[in-house]
């Protein structure tokens, strides 16, 4: 999942450590969801993190 979101996170100006923490938290919070659902949620959180910086 991290590979799928790496370019997206970099495009937002987020460092790898921040993106990794967000992805790990989404995976931990959504164990029964599909990867596609987790990617969607992770993108939303990455957008929120980028706008907060």
- At 53 the pLDDT is 73
Give the chain's residues under pLDDT 50.
none
pTM of the model: 0.89
Q: What are the angstrom distances between the C-alpha of 10 and each of 25, 26, 51? A: 18, 18, 13
pLDDT of residue 1: 84
């Amino acid at each position: 999942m991290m590979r799928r979101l790496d370019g997206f996170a970099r495009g937002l100006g987020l460092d790898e450590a921040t993106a990794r923490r967000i992805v790990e938290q989404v995976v931990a919070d959504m164990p029964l969801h599909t990867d596609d659902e987790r990617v969607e949620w992770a993108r939303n959180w990455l957008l929120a993190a980028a706008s907060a910086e």
